[in-house]
Chains A and B, each alone.
Chain A
């Protein structure tokens, strides 16, 4: 688990166009973000290419990371994961960056969001464990591997519509568990 306060400080300096901070941020986070890209793309050359785009975006959009009020690692991982998904599905519609679709008065940073990342991971994993094995695997496949409904339907041998119904129900169960 990375030191959230440290990453936050680095991002704040990157917003001020501090190249040394950018370099340090790269050292601190590139291995995790490369892992995220590689998990989605399963191809080192593609993942290297996408990681470049990820850090270019981090530099250009560092001032936007607070739009959701999430932790800096959430923002960094989301940027990496979405960039990888866009490459994976080069023909489909691109993912939007969250700052581009935020309401004018967006949530704003919640201080509680900063302190609980490790705890949050434990909760999500515990709630996934409450789902049936296949259902948890489908949720992980969709996020971590970037699988589409078509991919998931094939993997679990069910029709596309069934797959969607199934996954949506899992997401509802997951939310109920997370809200407890």
Chain B
């Protein structure tokens, strides 16, 4: 890797901490915003990645994984009956950051309170930011009644199309939470299984034909997505 030029020691240390995974959560979001804009900072991160990976290549002992692992991986990828990975959502996974939660909660409560002034405090909230198009949603989960309430904050469904809500936990395939009613708050009861993973999940809305996805997996564009954040 070419050595980056004009490096401030602080940026150098930040870039290395970023690569090492040592940046405190409250500094991480701001650093990633800078990274998207500053080519020189990105070059620094790339050069630390290269240097540390070279160290690992030289110093970490190889180890043989069990023979069966390769076929398990290939079954996971190439068994056509399984839903494929829904890649645009990976973008949103890194977003579950602490500093983001409080302003988001306030925004969510404001949006919902205009519709229903006396509401219990939600315990979890997700802001689904636009991915394709302009649609945005806010979701609040009230654990007392195991209900997720979802409201569209911007955009409208396309003619003859519906919007379907999905829950994605880790690398698992998206699970449908149901269709969203146009123009009103949709209340969805969340099953116990899904409640257990809700706090580490991403919610996403896809564009689907009337009646919802015919396959059980998202078929249309991802309209909006966002991580579930605990209040």
Binding site for B on A (CB under 8 A): 1, 19, 22-23, 26, 30-32, 34-36, 38-39, 47-48, 51-53, 55-56, 59-60, 68-71, 73-74, 77-78, 81-82, 85, 89, 92-98, 100-103, 105-107, 110, 112-113, 117-118, 120-125, 128, 140, 142-144, 146, 148-149, 164, 167-168, 171-172, 174-175, 178-179
Instruction: List, sorted by A's number, 26 A–B pairs whose CB atoms are closer than 8 Å.
Output: A22-B77, A23-B74, A31-B63, A31-B64, A56-B73, A56-B77, A60-B87, A70-B53, A73-B53, A74-B49, A74-B54, A77-B53, A82-B21, A85-B21, A96-B94, A101-B35, A103-B36, A110-B2, A117-B57, A120-B1, A121-B55, A121-B57, A142-B22, A146-B21, A167-B17, A171-B16
**Centre residue among B38, B52, B54 by max chain A CB count within 10 A:** B54
Asked if A171 contacts B17 (CB within 8 A), the reply is yes
Interface string of B59-75 (1 = CB under 8 A from A): 11111111001101110
Ranked nearest first, the 4 interchain pairs of A and B with the lowest CB-CB distance are A121-B58, A68-B46, A31-B62, A96-B94
| Measured CA separation A152–B86 after assembly (Å) | 37
Binding site for A on B (CB under 8 A): 1-3, 7, 9, 12-13, 16-17, 19-22, 25, 28, 32, 35-39, 42-43, 45-46, 49-66, 69-70, 72-74, 76-78, 85, 87, 90-91, 93-94, 96-97, 171
**Centre residue among A106, A110, A120 by max chain B CB count within 10 A:** A120
Asked if A178 contacts B21 (CB within 8 A), the reply is no
Asked if A78 contacts B94 (CB within 8 A), the reply is no
Asked if B54 contacts A124 (CB within 8 A), the reply is yes
Chain B residues in 8 Å Cβ range of A52: 69, 72-73, 76
Chain A residues in 8 Å Cβ range of B45: 68, 98
Option from A48, A69, A92, A120 in Cβ contact (under 8 Å) with B51 = A120
| Measured CA separation A97–B62 after assembly (Å) | 24
| Measured CA separation A117–B18 after assembly (Å) | 22
Chain B residues in 8 Å Cβ range of A128: 55
| Measured CA separation A52–B87 after assembly (Å) | 17
Asked if B65 contacts A51 (CB within 8 A), the reply is yes
Option from A69, A96, A105, A172 in Cβ contact (under 8 Å) with B46 = A69
| Measured CA separation A102–B91 after assembly (Å) | 12
Given contacts A56-B77, A168-B17, 20 further A-B pairs with CB under 8 A are A19-B74, A22-B77, A23-B70, A32-B62, A39-B60, A48-B65, A68-B49, A69-B46, A78-B53, A81-B53, A89-B21, A92-B25, A93-B25, A95-B94, A96-B32, A103-B37, A125-B59, A144-B59, A167-B22, A179-B7
Chain B residues in 8 Å Cβ range of A168: 13, 17
| Measured CA separation A51–B17 after assembly (Å) | 24
**Residue of A with least CB distance to B78:** A19
Chain A residues in 8 Å Cβ range of B85: 56, 60
Chain A residues in 8 Å Cβ range of B55: 121, 124-125, 128, 140, 143-144
Chain A residues in 8 Å Cβ range of B90: 97, 100
**Residue of B with least CB distance to A112:** B2
Asked if B62 contacts A175 (CB within 8 A), the reply is no
| Measured CA separation A130–B69 after assembly (Å) | 40
Chain B residues in 8 Å Cβ range of A123: 51
Chain A residues in 8 Å Cβ range of B93: 94
**Residue of A with least CB distance to B64:** A31
Chain A residues in 8 Å Cβ range of B25: 92-93
Option from B39, B46, B63 in Cβ contact (under 8 Å) with A35 = B63
**Centre residue among A19, A39, A77, A128 by max chain B CB count within 10 A:** A77
